[in-house]
């Protein structure tokens, strides 16, 4: 009875607001992260821990994204999209920014829009599009063109507005007649090559502005493109405001940017944003300034870089900020959407922002002020950087929750599947510096543990607002980062073209970053390499931790051993106490018990599930949907399918 009254009330409110009733009746996932605050929670009750074992494939469709693509393009391909439910359509984007609307019950295509992205851009961060955003114009009349809009960013730096009903460009958006429905949201510095700058994550809408970030290639140069965040009018596409974290940081705190900050770029926001609609805030997870592994020309803490920043969504003015890494020289940028939640303290509700990080820390901040909800301490960290570097003597460490991953490698942690394998790993480890978290990059080679892929990554976390449980998938592996004199770059790159070797032009150093793998291609560290962790945010403790994934699709022999493998993607949680996640390097979608961590079900996917699933109710049936297209850089099987599961 209560749910019926809530549903009826929602329909009445939707009519009053001018929104289509069908959008509310089929509600369940209308933002990239499920809701504007990224909780990745669905209040659907048909699928339960008791019957989840009966899930079967309801439909599967190919997006056609790989048709006609060359091998070179396929090597830069990653299908990481999460669809959203808009009106009577599931809407998503392919890695090449083709936007498609599908029937929620069958997967049949309703419309498609191709922005004609060039296949020769060589994007530094792959061909990726994680999602789209939807907006309804409260001033529009019934049947007006583009009364409901889909916004999407592209690999070539465009922001596009489409009619949600037809997929046609909104002609009133943008000023160039030959490019209806789009505006330039690209780089504000000249690019060295076309793919140096791109947009990978979904835009967000706050009021009547649509806000977009960017993804920018790391370590190519010091004077890299700026990480400017931009807000555009949702109706006209006119620029409303922009926020450059570096320039704003220099203005607000010059001591935090001593050196040559006018030549510095990045501190961009490549991960998804969140919106606090009640307070009118857009909350940004910023990245590190350029380049990643040497900061001698940007001395100081570098205010607003590596920070959770809350902006006034209407004006772009900073309301508050909290820095998670001071003077980052480890590529420990914020990779995930900030999650908005409500916790309890002294019997009263407190609105918070939960930020998961590559270091495996979880920062919980008060949403009103940005002050820590759980205590954060400044602790001394390793020193002794390369010549010209000026490290922060301390870094922020949350007292609660505890770190979700270990932070130091020792000889006892080195592993190999065979004697010769372990021996080669041990030899490399002994040559490198490994003093724990925040050991500075060095010319002898420094172990970064966790690696720059996390800890947590762009998949973020899911939050159960009833149980107050956060679910996070984390990686537990290492990088070795080695600096060398800048003049040696060409010779080193020519000698090993396949290695990640970058010049960091403008600095005295170049860099090499290697995943710490054995000769057989397995991590040199003991398993698990991937875990699913539940954090009880009632008290800031770890509730459970479970290995996720088997080695059947990454080992030389396809053994289904549940060792826990690296992950890329995120979880969703349901009202009934289920956690769904793909992400692992074996090709499955899995369901876990949110309370206990027990694996209850898995479904084999046609390709890697390196995306975040979503769920919704449609015509009385609950569906769980995931993009199954893999990630070429991670080495999982690539494809272009969208797969839906439901109970028979």
Q: Catalytic pick from 292, 328, 331, 640?
A: 331
| Torsional sign, CA 529, 534, 537, 541 | negative
Cα 559 to Cα 130: distance, rounded to the nearest angstrom? 31
- What is the DSSP annotation of 14-58? HHHHT--HHHHHT-S--STTSSTT---EE---SS-TTTGGG-EEE
Distances (CA, A) of 267 to 228, 229, 271, 309: 8, 10, 12, 11
- What is the DSSP annotation of 391-448? --SEEEEESSSPPSS-----GGGB--SSHHHHHHHHHHHHHSB--STTPPPBSS-EEE
Cα 298 to Cα 389: distance, rounded to the nearest angstrom? 9
Instruction: Give kind and range of the element (H or E) at residue 557.
Output: none
**Residue 599 burial (CB < 10 Å; 0-12/13-18/19+)?**
middle
- Residue 205 contacts residue 135 (beta carbons within 8 Å): yes
Give catalytic status of residue 331 as yes or no: yes
Q: How remote is the C-alpha of 473 from its chain's centroid?
A: 12
- C-alpha R_g of the chain: 23
Backbone angles phi, psi at 109, to 5 degrees: -70, 135
Phi-psi region at 549: left, alpha or beta (left = phi > 0; alpha = psi -120 to 50): left
Cα 431 to Cα 446: distance, rounded to the nearest angstrom? 9
- Residue 286 contacts residue 306 (beta carbons within 8 Å): yes
Half-sphere exposure (CA, 13 Å, Cβ side) for 507?
32
Backbone angles phi, psi at 562, to 5 degrees: -85, 80
Q: Which residues are catalytic?
A: 331
């Amino acid at each position: 009875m209560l749910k019926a009254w809530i549903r009826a009330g929602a329909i009445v409110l939707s009519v009053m607001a001018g929104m289509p009733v069908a959008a509310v009746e089929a509600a369940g996932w209308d933002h990239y992260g499920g809701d504007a605050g990224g909780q990745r929670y669905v209040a659907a009750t048909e699928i339960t821990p008791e019957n989840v074992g009966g899930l079967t494939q309801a439909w599967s469709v190919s997006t056609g994204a790989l048709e006609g693509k060359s091998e070179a393009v396929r090597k830069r391909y990653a299908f990481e999209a999460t669809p959203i439910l808009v009106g009577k359509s599931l809407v998503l984007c392919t890695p090449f920014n083709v936007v498609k609307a599908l029937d929620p019950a069958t997967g049949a295509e309703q419309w498609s829009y191709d922005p004609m992205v060039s296949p020769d851009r060589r994007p530094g961060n792959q061909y990726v599009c994680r999602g789209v955003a939807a907006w309804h114009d409260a001033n529009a009349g019934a049947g007006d063109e583009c009364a409901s809009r889909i916004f999407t960013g592209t690999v070539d730096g465009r922001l596009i507005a489409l009619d949600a009903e037809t997929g046609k460009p909104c002609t009133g958006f943008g000023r160039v007649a030959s490019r209806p429905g789009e505006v330039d949201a690209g780089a504000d510095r000249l690019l060295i090559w076309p793919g140096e700058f791109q947009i990978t994550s979904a835009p967000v809408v706050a009021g009547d502005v649509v806000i977009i970030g960017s993804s920018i290639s790391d370590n190519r140069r010091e004077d890299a493109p700026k990480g400017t965040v931009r807000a555009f009018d949702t109706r006209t596409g006119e620029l409303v405001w922009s926020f450059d974290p570096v320039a704003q940081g220099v203005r607000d705190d010059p001591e935090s940017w001593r050196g040559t900050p006018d030549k510095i770029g990045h501190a961009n926001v490549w991960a998804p944003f969140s919106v606090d609609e009640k307070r009118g805030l857009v909350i940004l997870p910023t990245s590190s300034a350029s380049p990643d592994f040497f900061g001698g020309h940007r001395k100081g803490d570098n205010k607003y870089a590596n920070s959770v920043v809350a902006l006034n969504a209407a004006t772009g003015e900073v309301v508050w900020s909290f820095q998670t890494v001071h003077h980052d020289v480890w590529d420990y940028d914020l990779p995930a959407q900030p999650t908005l939640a409500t916790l309890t303290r002294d019997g009263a509700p407190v609105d918070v922002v939960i930020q998961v990080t590559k270091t495996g820390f979880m920062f919980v901040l008060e949403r009103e002020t940005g002050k820590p909800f759980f205590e954060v301490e400044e602790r001394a960290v390793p020193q002794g950087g390369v010549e010209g570097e000026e490290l922060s003597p301390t870094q922020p460490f949350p007292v609660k929750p505890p770190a979700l991953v270990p932070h130091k490698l020792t000889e006892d942690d080195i592993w190999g599947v065979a004697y010769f394998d372990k021996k080669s790993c041990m030899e490399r480890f002994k040559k490198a510096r490994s003093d724990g978290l925040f050991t500075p990059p060095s010319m002898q080679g420094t172990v970064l543990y966790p690696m720059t892929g996390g800890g947590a990554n762009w998949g973020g976390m899911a939050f159960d607002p009833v149980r107050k449980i956060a679910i996070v998938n984390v990686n537990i592996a290492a990088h070795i980062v080695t600096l060398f004199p800048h003049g040696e770059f060409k010779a080193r790159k020519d000698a090993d073209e396949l290695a990640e070797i970058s010049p960091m032009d403008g600095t005295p150093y170049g860099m090499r970053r290697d995943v710490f793998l054995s000769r057989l291609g397995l991590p040199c560290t003991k398993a698990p390499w991937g875990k699913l962790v539940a954090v009880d945010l009632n008290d800031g403790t770890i509730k459970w931790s479970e290995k996720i994934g088997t080695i059947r699709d990454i080992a030389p022999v396809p053994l289904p051993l549940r060792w826990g493998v690296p992950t890329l993607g995120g979880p969703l949680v349901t009202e009934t106490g289920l956690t769904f996640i793909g992400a692992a390097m074996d090709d499955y979608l899995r369901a876990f018990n949110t309370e206990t961590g027990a694996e209850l079900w898995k479904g084999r996917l046609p390709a890697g599930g390196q995306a975040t699933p979503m769920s919704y109710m449609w015509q009385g049936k609950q569906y769980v949907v995931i993009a199954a297209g893999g990630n070429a850089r991670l080495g999982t099987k690539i494809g272009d399918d969208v797969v839906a599961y439901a109970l028979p």
